[in-house]
A = this chain, B = another copy of it.
Amino acid sequence: MSGDVDTPVITIDLDAVDRNIARMQQYCDDHGIGLRAHVKTHKMSRLVQLQAEAGAIGIAAQKLGEAEALATDGLDVLVSFPLIGAVKSERLAALAATCPVTVAVDSETGVRDLSRALHAAGAEAKVLIDCDTGLGRTGLQTPESVVDLAAVVDRLPGLRFVGLFTHPAPPDQSWLPQARAAVENHGLDVTTISVGGTARAFHTHQLPNVTELRVGTYIFGDRACVANESTRVEDCALRILATVVSRPTKTRATLDAGSKTLTSDRARGCDPNSFGLLIEYPEARIAGLYEEHAVVEFQAHASTPDLGEVVTIVPNHACGVVNLHDQADVYRAGVNVGTWPIDARGRTR
């Protein structure tokens, strides 16, 4: 019979993970920037541990459920997503009773909800004000408005204002310094300026006064990271093994990995109609994606895979892929050393 691997399966190369963790930690150490490991990418407690051992100052979670699942003794947990309402605030307060917690906020409503719940629980959270420095997603729109919200935070019990937050590393480099000056003029200390994103991570030292870098994707890399030159293909640690299940024509092969394995995410800087990099056939294009099929197109006369052949895909976007799978096969020096659970998969709340 032609295939003995039960595909599709996601694999993690721990040697590449080690290299990626060491490189980013070294960069941050060299520049006196704290590395906060964003767990949205891997959602795995085993990898939080590696990042902490290497020197991460804390973790960032994009959802409260991720934070609850991956909080580790002693490590500060930043919930880098606006929490609104009683349910979320009470959960945050319960978390804050068990470990140091930081929250990013951009509304007085959110701040008051959090204060009420934290105060009732006898707990405290550090607070960063979310600043929209160009992305257009969340965050306050002007440096001046930061002062008003910081002042509200400063007056409320259960909260401690510590600084500013943005994503990604700001295109407008005057925004955060202006906000910082305005807040300090108001008499509040800005001890933390937190920026995020792997794409521009190695340029963070060029930004004034940044104290911490939130990075997630760097641990695995992906096709978008290769395109933005933050990761080399050989350091892409998360890969999908898939089998050629159909060879309809000489220039087409169909794989058993579709959007339910790879996501439909595009990779910025790459052909928008291409859904991953095929390691063994880098000239081929994963041109069509159905729920469980990928259709690969080859040039005429190119070398092509046989029916039943197992191929390796570097996905467009590692974070989305991990969130589709309950576990990953883990390799060290090319040898499968176990299957690790993706503890926080699907924790969207």
A interface with B by C-beta (< 8 Å): 1-9, 40, 62-63, 81-89, 106-107, 109-110, 113, 116-117, 130, 132, 136-141, 243-249, 252, 254, 256-257, 259-261, 263-266, 288, 290-293, 295, 307-308, 319-320, 323-326, 346, 348-349
Contacts and interface: CB of A to CB of B under 8 A. Distances in A.
The 7 closest A-B pairs by CB, nearest first: A3-B85, A1-B86, A138-B246, A82-B245, A264-B264, A6-B87, A1-B113
Given A141-B248, A141-B249, A292-B62, A84 B324 contact: no
Q: Name the residue among A117, A256, A259, A349 with the largest chain B CB count within 10 angstroms.
A: A256
Nearest to A7: B349
A62 B254 contact: no
Nearest to A293: B137
Contacts of A6: 87-88, 349
A243 B86 CA distance: 12
Given A243-B85, A260-B348, A308 B109 contact: yes
A5 B85 CA distance: 8
B106 A261 contact: no
A17 B254 CA distance: 33
A87 B40 CA distance: 33
A277 to B, nearest CB: 18
Contacts of A261: 348
Contact of A3 (B8, B84, B254): B84
A3 B137 CA distance: 20
Given A62-B291, A264-B264, A292-B81, A113 B2 contact: yes
Given A84-B308, A324-B324, 7 more contacts: A1-B86, A1-B113, A62-B292, A84-B307, A107-B247, A136-B252, A324-B346
Contact of A89 (B1, B83, B113): B1
Contact of A323 (B2, B109, B249, B260): B260
Given A138-B246, A259-B265, A307-B109, A63 B349 contact: no
Contacts of A88: 3, 6
A9 B349 CA distance: 8
Contacts of A265: 259, 264
Contact of A349 (B8, B87, B346): B8
A266 to B, nearest CB: 7
Contacts of A248: 106, 132, 136-141
A117 B140 CA distance: 62
B4 A85 contact: yes
Nearest to A256: B81
Contacts of A113: 1-2
B348 A257 contact: yes
Contact of A320 (B264, B307, B349): B264
A44 to B, nearest CB: 15
A263 B263 CA distance: 7
B138 A2 contact: no
A257 B256 CA distance: 28
B292 A85 contact: no
A293 B138 contact: yes
Nearest to A2: B85
B246 A107 contact: yes
Contacts of A292: 40, 62-63, 81, 348
